[in-house]
Amino acid sequence: MSETHLEASRDASRSSADVGAPQGLERRIGTLGATAMNMTQMCGIGPFITIPTMVATLGGPQAIFGWIVGALIVLADGLVWAELGAAMPSAGGTYVYLREAFQYRTGRLMPFLFVWTAILFIPLLMSTGVIGLVQYLGYLVPAVVDAEGHANMTGHIVGIGVVGVVIAALYRNIGEVNKLNNAFFYVMLISVFGVIIASYSHFHSEYAFAYPEGAFKMGGSFFTGLGAALIIAVYDYLGYNNSCYLAAEVKNPGRALPRSIVYSILGIMGLYLFLQVGVLGVLPWQEVAKSSSIASLVVETAWGKTAANILTGLIIITAFASVFAGLLGGSRVPYEAARDRVFLPLFGKLHPKSHFPHISLLILGVITAIGSLFDLTQVIAVLTAVFVLVQSVAQIVALIVLRKRQPNLHRPYRQWLYPLPCIIALAGWIYLYASAGTQPIIFSLVWLALGIGAFMIWAKLEKIWPYGSKEIREEFVGKPALD
């Protein structure tokens, strides 16, 4: 096949403000705002709905170590994101990294497959926030949940309505969205710290550290449940990369993106550890494992019903905020692909006045609403299996490939202790994928196969590889850096 090689230096005269930023998007998010967006999505409703599952899965207070192991995996992976994001600060995150790395051998196959999977796993991740929101709303309004605390028909209707409100809140320019997100960030902090303070005001060490006999023995509950627990833990940390999806709207991304990733992972890890120990110190772990709204139960036990109602309201807002932040960043992924003619053109449309990808936002919002109708554990397992191969594993390979293929790419941040974080992250993701379960793995492989088929049809219509030439476009090599 013939190749067309478009040297990046041909338009190196572009101003640094334009690097990776499509016309219309504005760089208005600083390090604090980027960190807040990551942490808002990371925390959200996650720990409030998954702490009981973690405790049940690992069989006691040793669940705390599940959070620590999960943090090590995402911190290693975060350093992959940090190098790639700082070097290629464009909307779309992984889409851009895979496009740049794999264009030499497989043309546009890998970025296409990423977008194909992203339009499924990003909304599914947001669906978990909606599911958790309705679950906690059931503490205040029992009519929206069944006897086990799961959404009933009324709850599903409410969940769909919540997605509509999120879309309406995002239907504005990035400056206004950033201010709103910062407000949500503070509500999230109040929610988490409120539950933490309540738990430690009513703390019993004999509950918090009541490890069952033989809990850490090989074959004991900790090791047998570790795979399933890590899927939950990593799910709760997801969102540390949100700022990379919004990189075209981040100021000084060479510094801001790596810092936002590391700060958000370490900050959320600290919050989760305090929260987990505190919750386990209020009630016996057997009761924690059975609760569907554990944060509300802890606050009610410590401070009474009125305080629990208030904190529950804040937790509901926090869940809303996580969906808000996730759809904000996620909508930029198919937008960038469409702008690059690797996905359906309608995803590349910007709102004529507020300059945000409104069609992409609407479509991902609809998928989020549909995903909210399913069981939480199923959704987490499926979204994990779907994104691991085409995002997590492929992105680690992309970093290695780019170091060899584009040695002159300006890298404001270079991964600490390379390649050790890549090895740790790769081992962690493979272990998580194997632990997802047979049905989610089969579903992920079928979805991937359908994506390959869709790409072959699209490639034939567009007359690109493998039916035409490969366009090698090193977009970021030789361009001014945005440190």
183-190 long-range contacts, CB within 8 A, separation 24+: 184/40, 184/317, 184/318, 184/320, 184/321, 184/324, 184/325, 185/36, 185/37, 185/39, 185/40, 185/321, 187/314, 187/317, 187/318, 187/321, 188/39, 188/40, 188/43, 188/44, 188/318, 188/321, 188/322, 190/314
Q: At what angle do helices 109-140 and 294-303 cross, to 10 degrees?
A: 30
Residue 275 · residue 49 · CB < 8 Å: no
Question: What is the spatial distance between Cα 119 and Cα 259, in angstroms, rounded to a whole number?
Answer: 27
* DSSP-assigned beta bridge partners for residue 5: 472
pLDDT for res 373: 95
Cis peptide before 440 (omega within 30 of 0): no
Number of domains in the chain: 1
Closest CA to 283 of 269, 266, 306, 299: 299
Which pTM value belongs to this model? 0.85
Question: What is the spatial distance between Cα 286 and Cα 283, in angstroms, rounded to a whole number?
Answer: 8
Tokens at residue 389, please?
Answer: 């191969």
Tens digit of pLDDT at every position of the chain (483 positions): 444 444 333 333 333 344 454 555 778 889 999 998 899 878 878 888 899 999 999 999 999 999 999 999 999 999 999 999 999 998 778 989 999 999 999 999 999 999 999 899 989 989 999 999 999 999 999 999 998 888 999 999 999 999 999 999 988 877 778 788 788 888 988 998 999 999 999 999 999 998 888 778 877 778 888 999 999 999 999 989 989 988 988 999 999 999 999 999 999 999 899 999 999 999 999 999 998 899 999 999 999 999 999 999 999 998 998 898 888 888 888 887 888 888 888 888 888 887 788 899 999 999 999 999 999 888 999 999 999 999 999 999 999 999 999 999 999 999 999 999 999 999 999 999 999 999 999 999 999 999 999 999 989 988 999 999 888 989 898 776 666
Residue 240 · residue 265 · CB < 8 Å: yes
Residue 13 · residue 481 · CB < 8 Å: no
The per-residue b/e assignment along 242-258, b for 16 or more CB within 10 angstroms, e otherwise, is bbbbbbbbbbbbbbbbb
Residue 263 · residue 283 · CB < 8 Å: no
Question: What is the spatial distance between Cα 141 and Cα 92, in angstroms, rounded to a whole number?
Answer: 39
* Residue 44 domain flag: yes
* Residue 479 domain flag: no
Question: What is the spatial distance between Cα 172 and Cα 170, in angstroms, rounded to a whole number?
Answer: 6
What type of residue sits at position 156? H
The secondary structure of 288-335 as a DSSP string is HHH-SSHHHHHHHHHH-HHHHHHHHHHHHHHHHHHHHHHHHHHTHHHH
Number of Cβ atoms within 10 Å of the Cβ of 293 = 23
* Residue 478 domain flag: no
Largest CA distance in the chain: 72
pLDDT for res 483: 66
Number of Cβ atoms within 10 Å of the Cβ of 352 = 8
pLDDT for res 26: 77
Q: State how far Cα 430 lies from the chain centre.
A: 18
pLDDT for res 481: 61
Number of Cβ atoms within 10 Å of the Cβ of 281 = 20
Number of Cβ atoms within 10 Å of the Cβ of 442 = 11
Handedness of CA 164, 165, 168, 172 (dihedral sign): negative
Average pLDDT over the chain reads 89
* DSSP-assigned beta bridge partners for residue 473: 6
* Residue 19 domain flag: no
Q: Which DSSP helix (H) or strand (E) runs through 242? A: helix 242-245
CATH number of the CATH domain containing 355: 1.20.1740.10
SS3 472: strand
> What is the β-pairing status of strands 3-6 and 470-473?
parallel
Domain residues for 230?
3-14+27-473
3-state helix, strand, coil in the chain (%, to 5): 70, 5, 25
* Residue 91 domain flag: yes
* Residue 277 domain flag: yes
Residue 93 · residue 241 · CB < 8 Å: yes
Question: What is the spatial distance between Cα 9 and Cα 15, in angstroms, rounded to a whole number?
Answer: 13
Contacts of 286 (CB under 8 A, 6+ apart): none
Tokens at residue 205, please?
Answer: 């060490």
* Residue 480 domain flag: no
Closest CA to 84 of 102, 100, 106: 100
Residue 57 · residue 142 · CB < 8 Å: no
The secondary structure of 25-48 as a DSSP string is ----B-HHHHHHHHHHHHHTTHHH
Q: Which DSSP helix (H) or strand (E) runs through 280? A: helix 253-280
Question: What is the spatial distance between Cα 27 and Cα 482, in angstroms, rounded to a whole number?
Answer: 11
* Residue 34 domain flag: yes
Question: What is the spatial distance between Cα 104 and Cα 410, in angstroms, rounded to a whole number?
Answer: 19
pLDDT per residue as tens digits for the range 119-151? 999 899 899 999 999 999 999 999 999 988 889
Question: Dihedral through CA 288, CA 294, CA 296, CA 297, nearest 10?
Answer: -20
